[in-house]
Structure 1
Amino acid sequence: MAVLHNRVSQEELKKKLMEESEPRTTISFYQYFFIEDPKQFRDDLYRSLTNLKVFGRIYVASEGINAQISVPSSDFEALKELLYRIDALNGIRLNIAVDDDGKSFWVLKIKVREKIVADGIDDPSFDMRNKGRYVNAEEFNRLTDDPETVVIDMRNHYEFEVGHFDTAIEVPSDTFREQLPMAAEMMQDNKDKNIIMYCTGGIRCEKASAYMLHQGFKNVFHLEGGIINYANKVKEQGLDNKFRGKNFVFDNRLGERISDEIISTCHQCGEPADTHTNCRNEGCHLLFIQCEKCAAKYSGCCSTECHDTIQLPEEVQLEMRRGIDKGRNVFNKSRSRIKPLLNKKG
């Protein structure tokens, strides 16, 4: 019987990935559809994707599938054929990464979840089939030229910080479940306007558009394929690019460049920067923005304390971080829990 999960160490898997000579293509896709037996669907998919040497992170739930993966480029068509053989995924849009080095993932993880996007919605009358209308890149540009159009970014604070559409409104939160009611409240005075919602690849803004319609809004749209598909279509069709900066992605790259502008700053020195990194101190692992100078100065750490910590023997570090729950350790200038970061600068 085939093993349905990975048994190799992360370090060894990363090493094997770096040694690969064949290029990989990074892809994301999602689909809302009913899955009667998510566990069986998950196991069957794991077997099939393992045979194609697919790496990545996939969530499966009764409401559908959400995937970010990489595949050897020579097997891209085989992957497409495999997915298209699943009735609900036949013809599904595969978002190909914009700025891709092929080193986005080094292991395949497929998890069964209650939902593919944690939304906090418990109203049984909510129906994902009643969703906003897709707009493609050309339609998005045309609609956003109209001052009566409101553009809402349905991503987290740390995603918005490094890149967003030039007229976009941020919903200031780090969780999608918090953003949904906040977005509806923020838009109460704009119910007669066109409202376009967008996110990284489309999965969050599609659900957000359905939520807004559920809340009584009428003219609700969502950007087809999100930022990734928009950026690809802008290049293909020679359209004006209205996205500024970098698109944060949830893989080893932590970002793909959409425009040359750097709209954010280093969280340590304040100089222009938009490179996300995780603090090298495993007892911290804070996600934050760091410029090259500060990366060299602090050896990839978020503070002098963390820099000093990684100089200690490994057994001492292990004891120091024993029992620590890092949780969602993300730099957010509006959150008091991370203010010590700014006080740690040496």
Structure 2
Amino acid sequence: MQLRNKYSKEELIKQLESEDFQRKTFSFYRYVNFDEPNTYRDELFEKWFQLNCKGRIYIAKEGINAQMSIPEHNTDAFFTDLNNRKELANMPIKWAIEDDGKSFFKLIIKVRPKIVADGLDDNTFDTTKVGNHLSPIEFHNEIGKEDTIVIDMRNHYESEVGHFENAICPDVDTFREEIEMVVNDFGEDKDKKFLLYCTGGIRCEKASAYLKHHGFEDVNQLHGGIIAYAQEIKQLGIESKFRGKNFVFDERLGESINNEIISKCHQCGKACDTHTNCANDDCHLLFIQCDECKEHYQGCCTDECTDIIQLPMEERVLLRSKFHDKYSKSQIYRQRIRPKLLKK
């Protein structure tokens, strides 16, 4: 019984590229109680590995959060298995908007304390008292109304490449920072209507409950998130109020919603919405880089990182601890990259 991946990244990518069938990318989540998450994890891995599933799935006592791809010819078998599990039956599925089938190259299923690392103490508020779930078209129609506040519940690197019209996009690195900022900054507006949104809806479950706990009265959330919104708006032929690209947590790092580019390369200021990770593995910062800067900096975020990847491995190892002691990833972005962009 195989319960772990046994191949290297290079081998897995080679296997993916050699496939002669199509894959479909999708995501889902559910808050449901798992008494034995480790046992449940192993059951899922064994079955989904047999079906050649790939993806990143987190399981906790509180539920499951999954982003996956599956061969088209195994779709029926996968959903039969899903629906045969009472905890996962009739699961709402969010299908990818732009899908080349290369979103994941291996299957990862991990047991974690929470299915989303929100940094909140769930014992301090009632997580079941969530906001009103608005359908995509209901959410669409509420945007722009008087005394309505739209808040992007994602991190800065997500909202930077795409967001709803008139949305407030807090400049934060973590969900915990954001939710506390919203409570503090909008404490005098608790009687207004709040519209919350995120990628697939999962973060808004906790966010809406947290706001209601702190006295916000009219809290609403986009059911199914940006992914569901993009699909429904496209089906209805309505002009999207979401501008730009929806950041996704797989190899694609984003899918365009309305073909508009609203962000800039962090190095030259050119219109660009392509995220990449710094080629210096000891940095690995996620940032926006155009093709020209990618060539110039050799895929790195700064001249310093470009110099580092030219060094012999022995010297890079010596620099490694010093580099991490001096900078956190948020510091690299805020102190070394963003100021350059703001000068453009």
Q: TM-score, normalised by structure 2?
A: 0.92
Counterpart CA distance in 2 for 1:331 and 1:55 is 33
Q: Aligned partner of 2:67: which letter?
A: Q
Q: Deviations over 1:147-198 (max 9, x none)?
A: 2211110000000111000111112211112222221222212211111110
Counterpart CA distance in 2 for 1:328 and 1:225 is 33
2:24 is paired with a residue whose SS is strand
1:32: how far off?
A: 0.8
1:66: how far off?
A: 0.6
Q: Aligned partner of 2:44: which letter?
A: L
Which residue is equivalent to 1:237?
Answer: 236
2:99 is paired with a residue whose SS is coil
1:212: how far off?
A: 1.1
Which residue is equivalent to 1:139?
Answer: 138
1:127: how far off?
A: 2.6
Which residue is equivalent to 1:287?
Answer: 286
Q: Aligned in 2, Cα 1:340/1:189: closer, same or farther, shift over 3 Å?
A: closer
Which residue is equivalent to 1:303?
Answer: 302
Which residue is equivalent to 1:220?
Answer: 219
Which residue is equivalent to 2:329?
Answer: 329
Q: Would you say the 8 A contact 2:56–2:109 is kept in 1?
A: yes
Q: Aligned partner of 1:329: which letter?
A: K
Unaligned runs of 5+ in 2: none
Q: Would you say the 8 A contact 1:138–1:239 is kept in 2?
A: no
Which residue is equivalent to 1:61?
Answer: 60
1:56 is paired with a residue whose SS is strand
Counterpart CA distance in 1 for 2:274 and 2:331 is 13
Work out the percentage of aligned pairs sharing the same amino acid: 49
Q: Would you say the 8 A contact 1:134–1:223 is kept in 2?
A: yes
Q: Would you say the 8 A contact 1:303–1:341 is kept in 2?
A: no
Which residue is equivalent to 1:209?
Answer: 208
Which residue is equivalent to 2:194?
Answer: 195
CA RMSD of aligned residues (A): 2.3
Q: Deviations over 1:231-251 (max 9, x none)?
A: 011111222200001111111
Q: TM-score, normalised by structure 1?
A: 0.92
Unaligned runs of 5+ in 1: none
Q: Aligned in 2, Cα 1:267/1:320: closer, same or farther, shift over 3 Å?
A: same
Q: Would you say the 8 A contact 2:149–2:194 is kept in 1?
A: yes
Q: Please list, as runs of the form range in 1=range in 2, the aligned pairs for 1:15-164 lying within 5 A after superposition.
A: 15-122=14-121, 124=123, 126-164=125-163
1:107: how far off?
A: 0.9
1:58: how far off?
A: 0.7
2:123 is paired with a residue whose SS is coil
Q: Would you say the 8 A contact 2:267–2:337 is kept in 1?
A: no
Counterpart CA distance in 1 for 2:111 and 2:19 is 29
Counterpart CA distance in 1 for 2:122 and 2:75 is 39
- Single out whichever of 294-303 and 195-204 deviates more from structure 2: 294-303
Counterpart CA distance in 1 for 2:155 and 2:184 is 17
Q: Please list, as runs of the form range in 1=range in 2, the aligned pairs for 1:252-291 lying within 5 A after superposition.
A: 252-291=251-290
1:117: how far off?
A: 1.3
Q: Would you say the 8 A contact 2:280–2:306 is kept in 1?
A: yes
Counterpart CA distance in 1 for 2:330 and 2:74 is 36
- Single out whichever of 314-323 and 210-219 deviates more from structure 2: 314-323
- Single out whichever of 126-135 and 158-167 deviates more from structure 2: 126-135
When the two structures are aligned, how many residues end up with a matched partner? 341
